Amino acid sequence: MWDERNASPPVDRGNAVGLIIFVQGVGILLPWNFFITATQYFNDRLSENYSSNSTSFHVHKYNYDSWMCLLSELPLLLFSLLNSCLYQHVRERYRVAFSLVAFIFLFGLTAALVEVEMDQDAFFIVTMATIWFINMFGAVLQGSLFGLVGLFPYRYSTFFMSGQGLGGIFANVAMLLSILSNSDSRSAALGYFITPCVFTLVTLLCYLLLPHLNFARFYMNQSSVYEPETSNKLLKDSEIKVVSQVPNHLRAKELLQSNGVMKEEVRLTAFEVFKKIWPMALYVTCIFAVTLSVFPAVTVRVQTVYVENQTWAKVFTCVCCFIVFNVMDMVGRSIPYLVQWPGENSRFFPVLVVARVVFVPLLMMCNIKNSKLSVLFSHDAAFSLLMALFSFTNGYLATLCTGYAPKLVHNKDAKTAGSLMGFFIFLGLAIGAAFSFLLCTVV
């Protein structure tokens, strides 16, 4: 059997670890993607003229899209902070496994409610509570997995981020099939919400398999403290006495060689890690704040100019808003696997991040009925092109940020850096969701 203490890592046979990390990326955003893509179903149920055969899109007093975004991102933000405390006291495998089991239960509850007649206010409250709790567990899951992925080489971060992009496409295709199916809307919705239950179970099984693969175990053990006898073997007899005087809780989880002498190094605090990665943290916050300020609360209000084509009118939002966004977002997340430009210290990086703000007014001036703004981009193709550029830059720049951050610190602090980046992603999402309320009053 391969020895985990070897200096060089084993081979990732069949790219199995990459595939598992990709699957984790898909599963981690299933709650967000399925609830955000099901906006038509929830808006129909909350509309005054809801019926079992309703397929039209409604904008109504509940403002589901903005509330869904806000009540998704607030628990993500709050409980990602809690996760930074949990990871020291609760083992990662328990945090991840319990969160995935909670996903299965809450998706099952949502599927069951499809067949339950409820008052609109009660349905809205139960739905918002479900969104809160599912994202509460999602925060713990994402923080744990971001930290885990930060231990692996850079290309595994791109697998993880690409998986998140595919998760959106997975939800979009499921919704498109449910819209085009001949079954009534309730039966279609029931099948739609059962789908993530099955895939979440697959995600859980893949995660449980990960520690049994030699390649994964090599990098996961980079964060493990060396056993005292192992450390002593690496030191000269004259150095053992010095090292043994260091308290055990300050022993580093890796040994660094300096001037031919092996020395142990103290793990940095979260604040010290933040001081090293703060540019990437700031960039990723800005990226997602801009994205969530208009997507989906504003973009779902854009309508097709071909209203006479009833079939296209039904699928327009799903295709041009959600599918275009998620496909191009995944493309953007995959490109850094081949090209990483600009570099982490490039002056062009912040320029590109700030330049994305221009998408906010441009998307608000698309074909939105009864908008207070002038419509400059009325055609479907113009809206699709803007969405493609908007989503591509979101995926590409966000992946660069999350890939660069763990590499700005030593391996022993990579997990902390990954978890911090997860927190700042949530912060950006929460800021963007809050701004969406304001922007919706304009359009």
Q: Is the pLDDT of residue 270 over 90?
A: no
Q: Could you please report the per-residue DSSP string of 368-400? A: BTT-SS--SB-SHHHHHHHHHHHHHHHHHHHHH
Whole-angstrom Cα distance, residue 316 to residue 9?
48
Residue 25: count of CB within 10 angstroms of its CB: 26
Q: What is the mean pLDDT of residues 177-204?
A: 84
212, 240: one domain: no
Pick the residue with more confidence: 405 or 227?
405
Q: Is the pLDDT of residue 164 over 60?
A: yes
Name 255's bridge partners: 264
Residue 346 banded pLDDT, cuts 50, 70, 90: very high
Residue 52 banded pLDDT, cuts 50, 70, 90: very low
Residue 223 per-residue DSSP state: G
Whole-angstrom Cα distance, residue 105 to residue 38?
18
With respect to residue 330, please indicate whether it lies within any of the assigned structural domains. Answer: yes
Predicted structure pTM score:
0.73
Pick the residue with more confidence: 221 or 248?
221
203, 242: one domain: no
148, 200: one domain: yes
Residue with tokens 């103290």: 266
- Point out the least confidently predicted range of 107-111, 236-240, 363-367: 236-240
Long-range Cβ pairs for the range 176-181 (8 Å, 24+):
176/315, 176/318, 176/319, 176/323, 179/40, 179/55, 179/314, 179/315, 179/318, 180/315
Looking at residue 86, its pLDDT comes to 62
138, 256: one domain: no
Q: Is the pLDDT of residue 247 over 60?
A: no
Q: Is the pLDDT of residue 103 over 90?
A: yes
Looking at residue 174, its pLDDT comes to 85
Pick the residue with more confidence: 222 or 166?
166
Domain count, the chain: 2
Range of the domain at 239: 225-264
Residue from 157, 145, 152 nearest 219 by CA: 152
Name 261's bridge partners: 258
37, 70: one domain: yes
Looking at residue 263, its pLDDT comes to 46
**Percent over 70 (pLDDT), the chain:** 83
Pick the residue with more confidence: 84 or 360?
360
- Are 131 and 21 in contact by the 8 Å Cβ rule? The answer is no
105, 140: one domain: yes
Q: Is the pLDDT of residue 251 over 70?
A: no
Name the most confidently modeled range: 148-157, 270-279, 329-338: 270-279
Whole-angstrom Cα distance, residue 127 to residue 320?
26
Q: What is the mean pLDDT of residues 389-410?
A: 93
Whole-angstrom Cα distance, residue 255 to residue 277?
22
Name 377's bridge partners: 366
163, 260: one domain: no
Residue 266 per-residue DSSP state: P
Looking at residue 430, its pLDDT comes to 87
Residue 49 banded pLDDT, cuts 50, 70, 90: low
- Counting runs of H as helices and runs of E as strands, what totals does the chain give? 18, 2
Name 368's bridge partners: 302
254, 121: one domain: no
